[in-house]
Amino acid sequence: MKLLVTGAAGGIGTRMRQMLPSIYKDIRWSDIRKPDDLAPGAEFVAADLAKMEEVEKIVAGVDGIAHFGGFSVEGPWDTILQANIIGTYNLFEAAYRAGAKRVIFATSNHAVGMYRRDQKIGVNVTVRPDSRYGVSKCFGEALGAMYADKHGMRVTCIRIGNFADTPIDKRRLSIFLHPEDLVQLMRIGFEHPDIKYEIFYGASDNAAAWWDNSNAHKFGYRPKHKAEDFRAQALAAQEKLPADAIGDAYQGGTFSSAEYDADKRR
């Protein structure tokens, strides 16, 4: 199986460059610029996701794609439009034309960030994005559904919580995702014979979870890491953060409270 991983220079991509080569032997890495710490001999092809002709080059000959590329936080509309809307469209469309069989789309908790923290949600709820970034992730999930349902691509959307070695504050006790657990979810996306179109929450075994991740469990996901092991240090870090009435009420945290003016306008 030849794989393409986009976003190779980003936080997740950098960690994946350390972890995936022991599992998958033939990986092409891509990003807009070559990472300085690329392993000797690793295959790298640069591409601007907003340019279809460049995306066509990176997908050529691959069987599976993990799409971590794009803009990974809230940003101005044009940045989100180019990197995440046009970029994700180019990625799926080029993958389809090139005959790639499987795509793992790194979506985000911010696709559902306007659910309140006292709500437990599964993968069948209406999306409630908390930002333009979150909207772009909903767009990517919808695009994935279309390529799966109409064109038979096997698509796995992983709504990533917070990718880190430990949960860094109170909110992250609910959404922490250890790198090893992400790799486990990716292996399901690349290898499970029954994947057609699935959404999984990218979360470890978190006692304070806001998400019902039974769909991932149905496909064999057994996370090894637990946010609770770090509760004391996460709460100590939280003490140093400013209170945020809206951000602390909604799942998306500061993504939910930034630019929030609903109460003033109603």
Catalytic residues: 133
Residue 165 lies near ligand 15L (rule: CB under 6 A): no
Question: Among 30, 88, 90, 108, which residue sits at the site for ligand 15L (rule: CB under 6 A)?
Answer: 108
Amino acid present at 197: Y
Question: Among 6, 30, 90, 109, which residue sits at the site for ligand 15L (rule: CB under 6 A)?
Answer: 109
Residue 90 lies near ligand 15L (rule: CB under 6 A): no
Residue 84 lies near ligand 15L (rule: CB under 6 A): no
Residue 213 lies near ligand 15L (rule: CB under 6 A): no
* Sequence-ordered list of residues with C-beta below 8 angstroms from that of 256, at least 6 positions apart, any chain: 113, 114, 130, 131, 246, 247, 249, 250
Specify the residue, 7 or 64, whose C-beta has the smaller distance to ligand 15L. 7
**Do 257 and 139 form a contact (C-beta atoms < 8 A)?**
no
Residue 110 lies near ligand 15L (rule: CB under 6 A): yes
- Rg, C-alpha atoms of the chain: 18
Q: Which range binds ligand 15L by CB under 6 A, 1-9, 91-99, 104-112, 124-132? A: 104-112
C-alpha to C-alpha distances, 230 to 185, 237, 252, nearest whole angstrom: 22, 11, 21
Alpha carbon distance 37, 27 (integer Å): 16
Q: Which range binds ligand 15L by CB under 6 A, 40-48, 54-62, 105-113, 187-195? A: 105-113
CB of 16 to ligand 15L, least distance (A): 14
Alpha carbon distance 213, 205 (integer Å): 10
Q: Which range binds ligand 15L by CB under 6 A, 76-84, 102-110, 122-130, 235-243? A: 102-110
Specify the residue, 23 or 77, whose C-beta has the smaller distance to ligand 15L. 77
Strands 197-202 and 26-30, sheet pairing: unpaired
Question: Among 23, 73, 207, 236, which residue sits at the site for ligand 15L (rule: CB under 6 A)?
Answer: 73
Long-range contacts, stretch 125-129, CB < 8 angstroms, 24+ apart: none
Q: Which range binds ligand 15L by CB under 6 A, 36-44, 107-115, 122-130, 188-196? A: 107-115
Residue 256 lies near ligand 15L (rule: CB under 6 A): no
DSSP 65-128: EEE--S--S---HHHHIIIIIIHHHHHHHHHHHHT--EEEEEEEGGGSTTSBTT--B-SSSPP-
Binding residues for ligand 15L, rule: CB under 6 A, are: 72-73, 108-110, 160, 162
